[in-house]
Amino acid sequence: MDQDRILYRGEAFTLTGNSLRQDAAHWAEVQPDGPVKTMKNGRYSEWRIFPEAGSAPHYYGNFEVLNQAYGLALHEAGALLNEEGTFRTGANWPTVWTRDISYATHLGLGLWNVHACMNSLKSRIRNGEVEQDTGTGGSWPISSDRVVWGMAAWEVYCLTGDADWLSLSCRVMEKTCVRDEQVLTATGGLMKGESSVLDWREQSYPAWMTSADIGD
């Protein structure tokens, strides 16, 4: 397989079988003997990730850049596991966040460690309903995207067949949705706050708007 063959070329980046290039200051290239050379913001580095052992889903294809990206993803996911058996949100966020773990579970993290995903989702239940992450303008009811938890809960059930988990999830989502209906009723059907995934003010609102504007 020709590793230099262009697989995708767009405005943001170019992908080949062994490289990903954004511009001269941002690129990654897999070397023939395995290590990956990278340039980020003009800073050069070199790293190597060895295949994960154990029960993790394995992937190996014809394109080395994808093989290395998969290995890196598993490595970084493992680094986010804490002693409580839940996933930290990131280096600066040691706790679980609802939208982050929900989307991650649905998009593939559940396939790798469904029990840690379940534990993480359970940690976001407060008083029988899903806890809302904070966002620009505040938490619930300004930010009201916590219903994505239900999508992840269903993913966990599909992977485990755990009827008790399904029953708990249904009760939690029922109470969550009943409360969220209050937001829609009070605002005439308009949801305030930031949209899921687009959780930064500059991605969702005009530049002139402040947190106070969004909260009101």
pLDDT by residue (tens digit) across 56-92?
Answer: 788 888 899 999 998 888 888 888 999 999 999 877 7
Residues 73 and 102 in one domain: no
Q: Judge whether 89 lies within some domain.
A: no
Residues 104 and 210 in one domain: yes
Residues 51 and 150 in one domain: no
pLDDT in tens, 109-139: 999 999 999 999 999 999 999 998 887 767 7
Residues 16 and 40 in one domain: yes
Residue 158 Cα distances to 108, 153, 188, angstroms: 12, 9, 35
Domain count, the chain: 2
Residues 129 and 49 in one domain: no
Residues 69 and 129 in one domain: no
Residues 65 and 106 in one domain: no
Residues 45 and 11 in one domain: yes
Boundary of a domain, candidates 32, 48, 79 = 79
* Model pTM score: 0.83
Residues 59 and 134 in one domain: no
Residue 52 pLDDT > 70: no
Query: Which range of residues forms the domain containing residue 148?
Result: 94-216
Residues 113 and 209 in one domain: yes
Boundary of a domain, candidates 45, 79, 113 = 79
Average model confidence (pLDDT) across the chain: 88
Q: Judge whether 86 lies within some domain.
A: no
pLDDT of the residue at 198: 67
Q: Judge whether 87 lies within some domain.
A: no
Residues 154 and 180 in one domain: yes
Boundary of a domain, candidates 12, 44, 79 = 79
pLDDT of the residue at 49: 81
Task: Give the list of residues 6+ apart from residue 163 with CB closer than 8 angstroms, or none.
Answer: none
Residues 69 and 106 in one domain: no
